[in-house]
Amino acid sequence: MKKYFTMDDFNFRGKVVLVRVDVNSPIDPISGSILDYSRFEAHRQTLAELKDSKVVILAHQSRPGKMDFTSLRAHADIFTKILHKRVRFVPDLFGEYAIEEIENMKCGDYILLQNTRFYSEEYCLKKNNFKDTHIVRELSKVADYFINDAFAAAHRQQTTLVGFAEKLPMIAGRLMEKEIKMLTKFMELKDRPKYAILGGAKVEDSLIVAKNFLENDIVDAILTGGVIASIFLIAYGIDVGDGTWEFIKREFDDYNSLISLAKELLDKYKGRIKIPVDVVINKNGRRKGIPITMLPSEYPIYDIGLDTATEYETMLRNSKGVIVNGPMGVFELNDFFVGTVMVLRGAAESSGFKVAGGGHTIAALEKYGLKNYFDHISTGGGSLITFLSGGKMPVIEALEKSYNIFGSK
Q: Is residue 63 part of an annotated ligand binding site?
A: yes
**Per-residue pLDDT tens over the stretch 350-386:** 999 999 999 899 999 999 999 999 999 999 989 999 9
pLDDT bucket at 202, cuts 50 / 70 / 90 = very high
Q: Is residue 61 part of an annotated ligand binding site?
A: yes
Predicted confidence (pLDDT) at residue 63 exceeds the cutoff of 70: yes
Would the CATH topology of 5-176+392-406 be identical to that of 192-351? Answer: yes
Report the amino acid identity of residue 218. Answer: I
Architecture of domain 5-176+392-406: 3-Layer(aba) Sandwich (3.40)
Q: Is residue 156 part of an annotated ligand binding site?
A: yes
Mean per-residue pLDDT, 59-69: 94
Q: Is residue 115 part of an annotated ligand binding site?
A: no
Within 10 Å of residue 374's Cβ, how many Cβ atoms? 23
pLDDT bucket at 286, cuts 50 / 70 / 90 = very high
Q: What is the DSSP letter of 183?
A: H
- Decide if 295 contacts 240 (C-beta within 8 A): yes
Mean per-residue pLDDT, 39-53: 97
What is the signed CA dihedral for 160, 395, 378, 145, rounded to 10 degrees?
A: -60
Q: Is residue 36 part of an annotated ligand binding site?
A: no
Q: Is residue 39 part of an annotated ligand binding site?
A: yes
Computed from CA positions of residues 361, 365, 370, 376, in that sequence, does the dihedral angle turn out positive or negative? positive
Concatenated DSSP letters for 283-352? ETTEEEEEEGGG---SSPEEEE-HHHHHHHHHHHHT-SEEEEES-SS-TTSGGG-HHHHHHHHHHHT-SS
Q: Is residue 62 part of an annotated ligand binding site?
A: yes
Mean per-residue pLDDT, 328-342: 96
Distances (CA, A) of 309 to 40, 276, 282, 372: 34, 8, 17, 22
Q: Is residue 84 part of an annotated ligand binding site?
A: no
Q: Is residue 376 part of an annotated ligand binding site?
A: no
Q: Is residue 355 part of an annotated ligand binding site?
A: no
pLDDT bucket at 191, cuts 50 / 70 / 90 = very high
Task: Looking at 121-254, list the stretches that DSSP marks H as alpha helix, in order from N- to C-terminal side.
Answer: 134-141, 159-162, 174-188, 203-215, 226-235, 242-251
Domain ranges of the chain: 5-176+392-406, 192-351
Phi and psi torsions of 85, nearest 5°: -150, 135
User: How many Å apart are CA 22 and CA 343, to the nearest integer?
Assistant: 30
Predicted confidence (pLDDT) at residue 260 exceeds the cutoff of 90: yes
Q: Is residue 75 part of an annotated ligand binding site?
A: no
- Decide if 145 contacts 10 (C-beta within 8 A): yes
Q: Is residue 254 part of an annotated ligand binding site?
A: no
Position 87 scores a pLDDT of 98
Q: Is residue 287 part of an annotated ligand binding site?
A: no
**Per-residue pLDDT tens over the stretch 113-144:** 999 999 999 987 666 789 999 999 999 999 99
Q: Across all residues in the chain, what is the average pLDDT?
A: 96
Q: Which CATH class is domain 192-351?
A: alpha beta
User: How many Å apart are CA 83 and CA 41, to the nearest integer?
Assistant: 9
